Structure 1
Amino acid sequence: MKLVKMSLAAAVLLGASAFAIDNVKVSGDAKLFYSTNDATTTNAVTGNTDDSLFSKGTSAADTALRISVTGDLTKGVSFGATGYAVSTLGLENNLVDATWTGAHGARTGTGAGYAEVDDKAWMGEMWVAATLGKTTAKLGRMELDTPLAFSEKWSIVPNTFDAAVLINQDIPDTTLVGAWVGKGNGTNAVSLVGLGTNNVSTLASVGLALDGGVVGADASFTTFNNGGAYAAAIVNNSFKPLVAQAWYYNVANIADAYWLQADWDCQLVKNVKVGAQYADMSPKGALEALGVTKDSKAYAFKLAYSGVESLNVSAAYSNVDKDGTLNIANVATSNLTTAQSKLYTETYWSYGVVGAPDAESINLTAEYDMKNVAKFGAYYTNTDFDVVNLTMNEVAITATKSFGPLDATVAYINTDWNTTPSVNTVQAYLTLNF
């Protein structure tokens, strides 16, 4: 008997034919990401130190393959599955010392120069959704996009969740959301290690995060923050120029959290949009047992203008109270260090800063689509921490161009902390869509 190997996509399509599954769609992409900076970096294995652009010790690279399949099982019932595979293609033994995802399993070994990591493959999504009237239930493994618990998609692969989501739209212009999050594969989530310390000082001392960990070791799914989480939300658009949303989170053993946001398409001044955000994270359970009792609070405002053809500009301000411990950022990844934030002022690259306690931030953004040339972006963020006398300035410039199915982006980032030398970073992103 011959053993026949087939791809995930082929297997699903074969099943679709056998069981008369309708509207099957297959999509995916292949990515190659590269990043390098001139921060002084010491290899933990070899002890070698690098501090120049494009040198092995200050560079990270990775490749990733994504294949997604969706279809209809029957009327009102659909499914989706997404597989991921990551590989450095051996670059960690040649051109770089770091990867773009923490999903790689590091091989055990001894001796100077031993830095090989394993390739990994896993199912990032596998869900079923059913719709009855104006109510949809989705169950299984999936991406989530909520203000304080979400899939970070800026890295080469996103973190995902084992969850159940219920969405209802029976009330006119209103969406009600209820969710249970049981597991996730994000890095660390809210680890209890280091609570009560000021992590901003650590961020400043090491410069930029070199890679985009986001997904934890071996992409393993573990109980979300040791006890799971509930979320509930209401999103209303009764007044058509305004979208208002309110979220409540019950993260077991960690915190109760609230997120309020309103985005107004201003009719008084054409092409002007105004936004406001407020967040509160109140510790409980294991945090209270450690003596962590003070809320983390933040507010933010944004003003955006798109009245010039192909040009979008915005200015934003945010302020986080100084007494809190948790960052106003994703609780599904490394909340106390480098988790991404949904605050309007979020930086291009230095995640973990604007949402940290005592952070007062200003962000200026300009994006211009130069037809038949490229899409350009310019981003500036200034953040001050009065309590620890720290200031960060980040400037990022990007250019994006599509060549048929191939999307290419190059970025230059300068990050300057007042206590350390400024760091220059150069990045390249290649994505082949299919």
Structure 2
Amino acid sequence: MKLVKMSLAAAVLLGASAFAIDNVKVSGDAKLFYGTDNKDQAAGISDSLFDQANSYADTALRIGLTADLAKGVSMGATVNAVSTLGLENNLVANTWTGAHNAAVEDSAWASELWIAATLGKTTAKIGRMELDTPLAFSEKWSVAANTFDAAVLINQDLPDTTLVGAWVGKANGVDAVTSSSSAADRDAIMRDGAKFTKFMQKGAYAAAIVNNSYKPATLQAWYYNIGMVADAFWLQADIECQLVKGVKIGAQYGDIDVKTGGVLGASAEDSSAYAFKLAYQGIEGLNVSAAYSQADDKGSVQIQNVSASGQSKLYTEAWWNYTYVGSKDAEAFNLTAEYDVKNVAKLGAYYTTVDNDIVGSTKKMDEVTVTASKSFGPLDATLAYISTDADDQNNGSQYDTVQAYLTLNF
């Protein structure tokens, strides 16, 4: 699903679990995703829920392998395949992903192929892989995730501190400079045919420090040098309140400074945003939170993932409608409530509202999402209802979306 939760980015970046594997492990999943809405269509075309013109679907198969090659040396490989199974002939008119070779052709590709080596408390990983950093990451909510050709170095010699250095050269996600994706896909993550091309034209470097010296707090500081595009920064602090058990407090700040003489041109502007979050998890199975964010009224690159759909790591990110919370002058609020009803289902309710005052920009977007998720052994199932009311969608009128997610894990 489309819910984002910031993890300890350095650990996820590397995929640390890969280094605890004995010999060979094979895993993967098969997915069937379906969605429909009642957006207005052209004259003479039905705009009702479940009609073909308003529906989209995809299936995907992912098979991954990891193995220890020698002491301290491991490797991983993952292949993906997507197909509509011919659903576009009678049930749907659109796809989830742009990874198809054409609008509806089947496609397969190697999404991961990496090797990693560990010496002491230093690990190096090189090849094709998933990444999870604040401004460049693999979006895993859709039927297939984008990945990167990269090199990563992680060191943990300093107590309670992780140092990260990375180079990203290619990616198969659309990006803020050279976007290219089929108009038929709904997630806007992948380039046509999942093709890997130069990341942000010139590639990018990243460096980070993640510190947990004060145990209730996790502090992160990230720096990006994005070729001839921009320098970027991300600061984040997440603290477990010691006065009230179960209360967590978070703060974020992101900044993208465009480079003089860069590919964005002389008129390009810097951008920034900050966010705060208050959460409570003191009751078993319950998670509630409230978040606020404000973006600067300037900016040529929004505070969001620069390589995929535009999903943002800001605490206020919506469940389905991305690109809003990190846009110019966006003031956003998010309320989240999740409760795991034992032996029934995990229920979720999410509300996001975004407003800005920039002339010619989106004025307002309101989203309400309700979900129900349940696992049946290896099968994960989620149903979602989304109400969207945005000035730049559906001629400014509210519309409904219904989605079903089925994932068989193996």
Q: What's the TM-score once normalised by structure 1's chain length?
A: 0.85
Compute the RMSD of aligned alpha carbons: 1.9
Q: 1:253 to 1:429 in 2, by over 3 A?
A: same
How far residue 215 of structure 1 moved from its aligned partner, in angstroms, is 1.3
Structure 1 residues 106-136: Cα deviation after superposition (integer angstroms, max 9, x where no partner): 2xxxxxxxxx621001000000000000000
2:383 pairs with 1:383? no
3-state SS of the aligned residue for 1:49?
A: coil
Matched residues in 1 for 2:109 and 2:305: separation? 22
Match of 2:236 among 251, 257, 261: 261
Question: Could you tell me how far 1:51 is from its partner in structure 2?
Answer: 1.6
Alignment match, 1:63: 59
Q: What is aligned with 1:277?
A: 252
| 8 Å Cα contact 1:320-1:359 kept in structure 2 | yes
Matching residue of 2:108: 121
Q: CA deviation at 1:253?
A: 1.6
| Residue 6 (structure 1) aligns with | none
Distance apart, 1:358 and its partner CA? 1.1
Provide the residue aligned with 1:432 in structure 2. Answer: 408
- Which amino acid in the other structure matches residue 425 of structure 1? T
Q: Counterpart in 2 of 1:399?
A: 372
Q: Deviations over 1:245-266 (max 9, x none)?
A: 0000011121110000000011
Quote the offset at 1:69 in angstroms.
0.4
TM-superposition CA deviations, 1:40-62 (whole Å, max 9, x none): 245xxxx9734211111111100
Corresponding residue SS for 1:427: strand
SS in 1 for 2:152: strand
Q: How far 1:401 moved relative to its partner?
A: 0.6
Q: Which residue of 1 aligns with 2:97?
A: 101
Bigger CA drift: 417-426 or 245-254? 417-426
Range with greater deviation from structure 2 (170-179 or 419-428): 419-428
Picking from 372, 393, 396, the partner of 1:420 is 396
Aligned: 1:353 with 2:349: no
Q: 1:142 aligns with which of 129, 140, 150?
A: 129
For residues 56-90 of structure 1, give each alpha carbon's deviation from its aligned partner in whole angstroms, at most 9, with x where no partner exists: 11111000000000010000000000000000001
Partners of 2:68 and 2:260 in 1: CA distance: 42
CA distance in 2, matches of 1:76, 1:51: 57
Q: Which residue of 1 aligns with 2:3?
A: none
**379-388 or 153-162: bigger deviation:** 379-388
Larger-Rg structure = 1
Unaligned runs of 5+ in 1: 1-20, 107-115, 194-205
Measured after TM superposition, the shift of residue 25 of structure 1 is 0.4
What amino acid maps onto 2:368 in structure 1?
V
157, 163, 180: which is aligned to 2:150?
163
SS in 2 for 1:57: helix
How much has 1:391 moved relative to structure 2?
1.4
Q: Look up the match of 2:311.
A: 340
Check conservation: 2:98, 2:185, Cα contact below 8 A. Answer: no
Other structure's SS at 1:243 match: strand
Aligned equivalents of 2:343, 2:59: Cα separation in 1: 28
Which residue does the alignment assign to 1:174? 161
Deviation digits for residues 166-200 of structure 1, max 9, x if unmatched?
0000000000000000000002443389xxxxxxx
Q: Normalization by structure 2: what TM-score? A: 0.90
Query: Which residue of 2 is the match for residue 13 of structure 1?
Result: none
Whole-Å separation in 1 of the counterparts to 2:321 and 2:93 = 20
In structure 1, what residue type is equivalent to 2:285?
A: S
> Counterpart in 1 of 2:17?
none
| C-alpha deviation, 1:390, in angstroms | 1.1
- Structure 2 unaligned regions, length at least 5: 1-20
**In structure 1, the residue corresponding to 2:200 is in which secondary structure?**
helix
Q: Partner of 1:344: helix, strand, or coil?
A: coil
Q: Give, in whole Å, the separation in 1 of the partners of 2:48 and 2:267.
A: 41
SS in 1 for 2:282: strand
In structure 2, give the amino acid aligned to 1:410: L
Q: Paired residue for 1:329, among 295, 298, 304?
A: 304
1:2-401 equivalence runs, <5 A: 23-42=23-42, 49-106=45-102, 117-191=104-178, 211-284=186-259, 287=262, 290-333=265-308, 338-388=309-359, 390-401=363-374
The 10-residue stretch of structure 1 (139-148 or 88-97) with the greater mean CA deviation from structure 2? 88-97
What is the deviation of 1:289?
A: 5.8
Mapped to 2, the partners of 1:430 and 1:289 lie a distance apart of 41
Preserved CA contact (<8 Å) 2:229 2:264: no
Partners of 1:366 and 1:377 within 8 A in 2 = yes
Q: Which residue of 2 aligns with 1:17?
A: none
Look up the SS of the partner of 2:53 in the other structure: helix
Q: Which residue of 2 aligns with 1:16?
A: none
Task: List 4+ stretches of structure 1 deviating above 3 A.
Answer: 47-50, 285-289
Q: Quote the Cα distance in structure 2 between the aligned partners of 1:210 and 1:119.
A: 13
Percent pairwise identity:
65
Deviation digits for residues 142-175 of structure 1 (CA, Å, limit 9, x no counterpart)? 0000000000001100000000000000000000
Specify whether residues 411 and 266 from structure 1 end up closer, same or farther in structure 2 by C-alpha distance, changes over 3 A only.
Answer: same
